[in-house]
Structure 1
Amino acid sequence: MPTTREALLNAAQEALALLPWPAVRMVDVASAAGVSRQTLYNEFGSKEGLARALVRREADAYLRGVERALAVRSDAAGRLVSVAEWTVGQAAARPLLRALLTGCWGDRLPAPRPAPVRSRVLAGAPAQRRADAGAPAPGELLAAVRERSRAALARAGGDPGAEVCELAVRLALSYVVAPGVPEESGGPGLEALLRGLLGVSATSPTAEVR
């Protein structure tokens, strides 16, 4: 069963799927979560605080997914392909994540600035103090994925280098911004393109990044 905080964030996420953020009302979010509006304000402080928490949760969920993707395949190139495919698929389905990865927010989405330092100190929940510090910029997310990828590959017995890991993430981001030609229409596909750039045959399941 979700906590009150998670229930409120879920309700806000559902409202955002239907309405632009300026039209999302705190009273409606509280009602959908089955709590009072005062409880909502106690948890997040303000609508801006709720927005910061939504964006922070999206970034955290993405990075947890990256770690899961890194465990899907055994070869180094395959792990990086999994991360790239996860990134592209999730960004296509989740507008908030796409905005986090590209820095392009638009009018429908919340784009909260970090809370003033004094407000962060006074925030009750540790999770809210962390959210109030602000969402990671695209470059920070890229660096976090690169370092997670490199650490996972090193634990598996190989370190292709930061440059290779960053290349994989940047290729994925290029597909987020400008989707490639589908394979059925003659496009090379993300996996084939990524393996080609990394110098690994797409037909070799055990090949390592050179």
Structure 2
Amino acid sequence: MPAGRESLLQAAEAALSARPWPSVRMVEVAAAAGVSRQTLYNEFGGKEGLGRALVRRAAQGYLEGVDRALESGARPGRADAEGRLAELAEWTVRAARAQPLVRALLTGGWDLALPVPPPPGNRQALAPGDLARAVRDRAVAALSPEPAWRCELAVRLALSYVIAPGEDAAGGAERERGPAELLRLAGAAPFSAPNRTAGVR
């Protein structure tokens, strides 16, 4: 990524962390990046283009963190795979808490304080299901021959914590039994496992 584009995105991220997106002014972003407003418009076409670039950047940064979580402490063996899936779940929760754009990407919960994402049908649009599948597929590829359902379980458990955090988001009960521990406890069977009464419904 060219240095000028990177500086502009960093300046826009800083502005977004300080105030709602509708209050972010292009002239301020350009000044913070040390470029002219015309350079900013040449690079992104306008505020909408800058906002979409921020959304893509947030998705890319999150997925890079997914890759790091899956690679951390890589050793052969099932216990290692469980640890790496737990790391993936914890990264997802941390990233969503720290970055409103990541949370919106994962849940589909966009509010007026954030840039507007590309509309559905746009080739650049990224629905929450698309992102969750991308994470699952990366986990499957990194942890082969780990079953795909376990990778799916890690992603869905992490998303459940993003959507409905535990009682004490700062620690307490959630720290004692967070997504990583619940993943270990729930890892004995897939959510989609057949049950005895399914055939009579």
Fold shared, TM-score > 0.5 on shorter chain: yes
Q: Hey, what does 1:192 align to over in structure 2? A: 181
Tell me the residue number matched to 2:105: 100
Q: Comparing 60-69 with 104-113, which one deviates more in the overlay? A: 104-113
Instruction: Provide TM-score, normalisation by structure 1.
Output: 0.80
Q: Shift of residue 114 of structure 1?
A: 5.0
Amino acid at match of 1:30: A
Alignment of 1:130-209 (within 5 A): 133-154=123-144, 159-182=145-168, 184-185=172-173, 188-199=177-188
Matched residue type, 1:184: G
For the pair 1:87 / 2:92, whether they are aligned, the reply is yes
Structure 1, residues 47-100: CA drift from partner, whole Å, max 9, x if none? 110011000000001111100100113311111001000000011000010000
Gaps of 5+ in 2: 190-201
Cα offsets for 1:172-206 (capped at 9, x unmatched): 00001111245633852222110011139xxxxxx
* CA apart distance, 1:135: 3.7
> Does the 8 Å contact 1:55/1:135 carry over to 2?
no
Alignment coverage as a number of residue pairs: 181
- Assess if the C-alpha contact under 8 Å between 1:59 and 1:135 holds in 2: no
- Aligned partner of residue 43 in structure 1, secondary structure: helix
3-state DSSP of counterpart to 1:70: helix
1-structure distance, mates of 2:120, 2:30: 22
Identity rate of aligned residues, in percent? 59
In 2, are the aligned partners of 1:9 and 1:54 still within 8 Å (CA)? yes
Q: Partner residue of 1:111? A: 116
The answer as to whether partners of 1:181 and 1:189 remain within 8 angstroms in 2 is: no
Deviation at 1:167, TM superposition (A): 1.0
The alignment's C-alpha RMSD in Å is 2.2
- Provide the C-alpha distance between the structure 2 equivalents of 1:98 and 1:149, rounded to a whole number of angstroms: 20
In the superposition, the TM-score normalised over structure 2's length comes to: 0.83
Quickly say closer, same or farther: Cα 1:72–1:185, change in 2 above 3 A: same
Deviation at 1:162, TM superposition (A): 1.8
- Consecutive unaligned residues of structure 1, counting only runs of 5 or more, are 117-131, 201-210
Counterpart residue type for residue 185 of structure 1 = A
Question: Which residues in structure 2 correspond to 1:121-132 (within 5 Å)?
Answer: none
Q: CA offset at residue 105 of structure 1?
A: 0.9
Compare 184-193 and 45-54 and name the one that shifted more. 184-193
Deviations 1:88-128 (A, max 9, x none): 00110000100000000111001232599xxxxxxxxxxxx
